Amino acid sequence: MRNYWMPFTGNRDFKTDPRIFVRAEGVYYWNDKGDKIIDASSGLFCCAAGHCRKEIADAVYAQMQALDYSPPFQTAQPLAFEFARRVAELTPAGLDHIFFTNSGSESVDTAMKIAYAYHYARGEGQRQRFISRERAYHGVNLGGVSLSGMIKNRQAFGPGVPGVAHMRHTWLPENRFVKGQPETGAELANDLERLALNYGPDTIAACFVEPIAGSTGCLVPPKGYLERLRELCDTYGILLIFDEVITGFGRTGKAFAADSFGVKPDIMTLAKALTNAAQPMGAVAVSDEIHDAIFNAAPEKAIELFHGYTYSAHPAACAAGIATMDIFKNEGLFHKAAELSDYFLDSIFALSDIPAITDIRGYGMLAGIDIKPEDQPGLAGLNAQKALFRNHLNLKATGDSLLVAPPLISERAHIDEICEKLRVTLAAL
């Protein structure tokens, strides 16, 4: 127990009463005591196709025997091209250039660097500021932490990358218990204009948002909000970057939240369900215009972007990713998610009468439930998470919000089981 320093965990508290998974299959985990535990948050929103998919395991095993590793700088392996093609088949038209990373955090920092490089290539290197949002979560590397807005993720870690300003978040008290997109709040997007005019629009590189703010508790964008951001970015020459690490690959009922909300960004950051989490991987989808500007600015035989990771486009991750794309396609999982969404959201919102619950939000196959806080922020959420685990339900809690995001292979009976366990446990808090 002593040597493993666990991430985002109260290590001392955890080690007094460990919660250990030893096996998984489909929509379920099993713990070290043999208990079967329903997975209400797809691991960490990543196992969209369910756990331990044999197709993925087989593809990874075969690849590991054929070619375990090849350097991604100045050499390549075939699956990298094939996987990029498969991802680009799904991304919105024109966002066809795929840069591979190893995590969502790396995707975010990569996207920031691509934004800098794009403006630099066009002779607008003065565009070095980023606009993001309060309550945002853009991973844990220093670029992403600078963009993020959740206080505990920033507080101990210095000032971060200079030149980041935050718009207000989109949670409004009048939108409590609203299912789907709230009617009010679109005007909050005008914060982007206000900040642009305060700093000078031609100093802003990009506006970075999660289309649905996920980790902070599922804040669904008000109607018209993302459209207004797009409009303002176009007016002021600012890139719009959607962080779709959680919302990507069917979570919203379409391939991406960009499709569900009908707003096309210039860059998208991806990870999690990209490989069904069977291998660590992230990706950045980049528009033709940005890609071409960076390429055209470099001499013919020169490296266009001085960026990349030893494990970019790792063969095992590409194999897992291609097998995942096959499952998404063959099983129609995005469509299945769209079909199940109403039932899922109705079932979750039916919990609204439980006294400990102060708000519920949701869209697609993602919902956030706020629990009445105790004196120490986050304690109520942690206690709820532990009580749910004891009742054989796994989910992600952030602060005092519980996040529900079942695997997209779930059936109605799984949603019923999740909601029954939520009701029994949260009613007893």
**Site stretch for ligand PLP (CB under 6 A), options 242-250, 292-300, 307-315, 408-416:** 242-250
Q: Which residue of this chain has its Cβ atom nearest to ligand PLP in the complex?
A: 104
Residue 105 near ligand PLP by CB under 6 A: yes
Q: Does 139 bind ligand PLP (CB under 6 A)?
A: yes
Q: Which of 83, 137, 242, 363 binds ligand PLP (CB under 6 A)?
A: 137
Binding string, residues 150-179; x marks residues near ligand PLP by CB under 6 A: ------------------------------
Tokens of 196: 């642009």
DSSP 254: S
Among 87, 95, 108, 274, binds ligand PLP (CB under 6 A): 108
User: In terms of CB distance, is 143 or 222 closer to ligand PLP?
Assistant: 143
Min dist. Cβ of residue 275 to ligand PLP (A)? 11
Write b or e for each residue in 307-329: b if 16 or more Cβ atoms lie within 10 A of its Cβ, otherwise e: ebbebbbbbbbbbbbbbbbbbbe
Question: Interacting stretch for ligand PLP, rule CB under 6 A, among 135-143, 234-242, 259-267, 399-407?
Answer: 135-143
Q: Which is nearer to ligand PLP, 136 or 188 (CB)?
A: 136
Q: Does the footprint of ligand PLP cover residue 104 (CB under 6 A)? A: yes
Using the rule CB under 6 A, give the single segment among 52-60, 75-83, 208-216, 251-259 that binds ligand PLP. Answer: 208-216
Query: How far apart are alpha carbons 195 and 284 in whole angstroms?
Result: 26
- Which lies closer to ligand PLP via its Cβ, residue 138 or residue 361? 138
Can you tell me whether residue 403 is helix, strand or coil?
strand
User: What is residue 264's three-state secondary structure?
Assistant: coil
Q: Does 185 bind ligand PLP (CB under 6 A)?
A: no
How big, in percent rounded to 5, are the helix, strand and coil portions of the chain?
40, 15, 40
Helix (H), strand (E) at residue 241: strand 239-243
Which H/E stretch holds residue 404? strand 401-404
By CB under 6 A, residue 322 contacts ligand PLP? no
Per-residue CA distances from 259 to 234, 242, 270, 405 (Å): 19, 12, 14, 19
Query: Does 121 engage in binding with ligand PLP (CB under 6 A)?
Result: no
> Which one, 189 or 281, has the nearer CB to ligand PLP?
281
Q: Which of 209, 255, 236, 279 is nearest to 47 (CA)?
A: 279
Token pair, residue 204, equals 């802003």
Number of residues that make up the chain: 429
Strands 36-39 and 393-394: parallel
Q: Tell how far CA 13 is from the center of its chain.
A: 27
Query: 103 vs 287, which CB is nearer to ligand PLP?
Result: 103
- Burial class from Cβ neighbours inside 10 Å (0-12, 13-18, 19+) for residue 296 reads exposed
CA distance 128 to 245: 23
Alpha-carbon distance of 311 to 313, in angstroms, equals: 6
Nearest distance in Å: CB 106, ligand PLP: 7
Structure token pair of residue 14: 């955890």
Of 111 and 192, which CB lies nearer to ligand PLP in the complex structure? 111
C-beta closer to ligand PLP: residue 117 or 273: 273
Residue 138 in contact with ligand PLP, rule: CB under 6 A? yes
User: Closer CB to ligand PLP, residue 110 or residue 181?
Assistant: 110
The two structure tokens encoding residue 83: 């996987």
**By CB under 6 A, residue 215 contacts ligand PLP:** yes
Q: Which stretch binds ligand PLP (CB under 6 A): 8-16, 102-110, 111-119, 379-387?
A: 102-110
Of the pair 41, 63, the CB lying nearest ligand PLP is at 41
CA dist 145 and 166 (Å) reads: 12
d(C-alpha 182, C-alpha 156), whole Å: 34
| DSSP assigned state of 63 | H
Total binding residues for ligand PLP by CB under 6 A? 14
Least spacing, CB of residue 105 vs ligand PLP, in Å:
3
In the complex, least distance from residue 90 CB atom to ligand PLP, rounded to whole angstroms: 18
Stretch touching ligand PLP by CB under 6 A, among 29-37, 103-111, 254-262, 355-363: 103-111
Nearer to ligand PLP by Cβ, of 212 and 232: the residue is: 212
Give, as ranges, the residues between 263 and 302 that touch ligand PLP (CB under 6 A).
Answer: 271
Q: Which residues bind ligand PLP (CB under 6 A)?
A: 103-105, 108, 137-139, 210, 214-215, 243, 245-246, 271
